[in-house]
């Protein structure tokens, strides 16, 4: 033995309280401070504002993004012409291989904004700083090519249209009135705004009153709690393929669609549209519930989903435009947007009556 063993060290009293507290997560920051503690790739993102937007409008559209040559110049010009500034130009520097993008935002209507985007857009599927959270799901490619138009509902059409024309330089593309629409039960007035090249199309609706049933635009304004985007039309090159794929998934968490048009509608369709579609295509339209219309430039095939959120408000439209002028452009070697004639075939004015009947049928099931 080499002496007495050293006494054991004194047992330390366990201060359970402080240690236990230290293991607890820090208190949640208030909504007022939370937005300063998390970074986001989007400079305009504000968690508190996003939460308030969702509480007020439900699932709804906040921004319509348009690719432009210079988002900073677009912002400056719009604001100089009276646009409400929302997000001053901000540069999003990407990681290697992503490129840099500039975004800016001006007021559209209600709480929705027009977002200008320029720079290395399209080099990657996302804006710089965003990444896919996983591989694409089993849904695959539905054939949707791009946003064709985005429609807004507002209480008063003229002030909104005047604001947008002044602020953006867009021009009036076409106009519908209550007389055009043809139902006595769902009144609206509508105007379509278009960019210079008519690749950006922004129809705007207002409700009309004095009808037996409440205007579906008014129903939207109540459900959405104010002006906002009513629908986004997604353009496909093969609507039969796109809609068939979507309908196959309706029962598996996919989109529901508006009630189908009547058998009489499909019986009368070939006489109304003519030889632009084959007999098989007319049959496919009836099978899939696709509506068809035409104007002096081309033919429009369209189908509307049921409202996609928690309210009878925003929905999607799937469209295909059959346009002889576009076929000529493609034959000349043009591709993409350069081979498109904006709004060719119209927006389905000839189907408004049928569409509104189906919206009314749908709304009757909701008691709104
Ligand atoms: Fe539409």
Over 50: is that where the pLDDT of 286 sits?
yes
Residue 347 Cα to ligand 1 midpoint, Å, equals 6
CA of 364 to the centre of ligand 1 (A): 22
| Whether residue 79 is found in the same domain as residue 166 | no
Q: If you measure from the C-alpha of residue 351 to the centroid of ligand 1, how many angstroms do you get, rounded to a whole number?
A: 11
Q: How far is the CA of 367 from the centre of ligand 1 (A)?
A: 24
Average pLDDT (103-128) is: 91
Helices (H), 197-351: 216-224, 239-248, 263-273, 279-288, 324-331
The Å distance, Cα 158 to ligand 1 centre, comes to: 19
Taken as a whole, the chain contains a residue count of 368
Output the CA 314–ligand 1 centroid distance in Å. 12
Q: Are residues 165 and 262 in the same domain?
A: yes
pLDDT at 80 exceeding the cut of 50: yes
Q: Are residues 230 and 326 in the same domain?
A: yes
Quote the ligand 1 centre to 163 CA distance (angstroms): 21
- Beta bridge partner(s), residue 193: 172, 202
Residue 266 resides in a domain: yes
- Cβ proximity of 208 and 189 under 8 Å: yes
Query: 332: CA distance to ligand 1 center in Å?
Result: 29
Rounded to the nearest angstrom, the distance between the alpha carbon of 232 and the centre of ligand 1 is 7
Domain limit, last residue, from 104, 119, 134: 119
pTM: 0.83
**Ligand 1 centroid – CA 161 distance (Å):** 17
Q: Is residue 136 part of a domain?
A: no
Q: What is the pLDDT of residues 216-240, one digit of tens each?
A: 899 999 999 999 999 999 999 999 9
Whether residue 159 is found in the same domain as residue 90: no
CA of 303 relative to ligand 1 center, distance in Å: 9
On whether both 87 and 204 belong to a single domain, the answer is no
pLDDT digits (tens, 9 = 90+) for 21-50: 333 344 444 444 444 444 677 888 889 999
CA 149 / ligand 1 centre spacing (Å): 7
- Three-state secondary structure along 78-134? HHHCCCCEEEEEEEEECCCCCCEEEEEEEECCCCCEEEEEEECCCCCCCCCCCCCCC
Q: Please report whether residue 20 resides in a domain.
A: no
Q: Are residues 355 and 210 in the same domain?
A: yes
Q: Summarize pLDDT for 147-199 with one digit per residue, the tens.
A: 999 999 999 999 999 999 999 999 998 765 545 544 545 578 889 999 999 99
Domain count within the chain: 2
Question: Cα of 11 to ligand 1 centre, how many Å?
Answer: 77
Residue 132 is assigned to a structural domain of this protein: no
Residue 227 exposed, middle or buried by CB count within 10 Å (0-12, 13-18, 19+): buried
């Amino acid at each position: 033995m080499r002496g007495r063993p050293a006494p054991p060290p004194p047992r330390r009293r366990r201060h359970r309280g402080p240690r236990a507290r230290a293991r607890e997560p820090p208190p949640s920051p208030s909504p007022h401070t939370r937005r300063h503690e998390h970074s986001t790739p989007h400079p305009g993102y504000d968690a508190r504002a996003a939460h308030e937007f969702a509480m007020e409008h439900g699932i709804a559209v906040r921004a319509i993004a348009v690719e432009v040559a210079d988002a900073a110049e677009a912002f400056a010009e719009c604001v100089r012409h009276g646009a409400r500034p929302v997000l001053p130009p901000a540069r999003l520097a990407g990681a290697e291989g992503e490129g840099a993008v500039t975004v800016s935002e001006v007021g559209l209507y209600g709480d929705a904004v027009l977002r200008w985007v320029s720079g290395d857009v399209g080099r990657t599927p996302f804006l710089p700083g965003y990444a896919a959270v996983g591989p694409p799901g089993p849904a695959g490619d539905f054939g949707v090519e791009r946003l064709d138009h985005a429609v807004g509902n507002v209480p008063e059409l003229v002030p909104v249209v005047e604001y947008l024309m002044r602020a953006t330089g867009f021009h009036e593309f076409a106009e519908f009135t209550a007389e055009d629409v043809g139902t006595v039960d769902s009144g609206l007035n509508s105007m379509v705004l278009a960019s210079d090249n008519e690749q950006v199309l922004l129809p705007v609706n207002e409700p009309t009153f004095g009808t037996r049933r409440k205007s579906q635009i008014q129903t939207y304004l109540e459900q959405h709690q104010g002006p906002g985007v009513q629908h986004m039309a997604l353009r496909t090159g093969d609507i039969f393929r796109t809609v068939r794929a979507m309908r196959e998934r309706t029962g598996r968490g996919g989109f529901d669609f508006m009630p189908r048009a009547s058998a009489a509608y499909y019986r009368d369709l070939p006489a109304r549209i003519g030889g632009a579609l084959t007999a098989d295509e007319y049959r496919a339209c009836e099978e899939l519930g696709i509506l068809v219309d035409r104007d002096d430039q081309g033919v429009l095939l369209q189908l509307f989903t049921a409202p996609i959120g928690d309210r009878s408000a925003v929905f999607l439209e799937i469209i295909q435009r059959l346009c002889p002028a576009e076929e000529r452009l493609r034959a000349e070697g043009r591709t993409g947007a350069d081979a498109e004639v904006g709004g060719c075939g119209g927006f389905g004015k000839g189907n408004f009556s049928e569409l509104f009947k189906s919206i009314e049928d749908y709304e009757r099931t909701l008691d709104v």
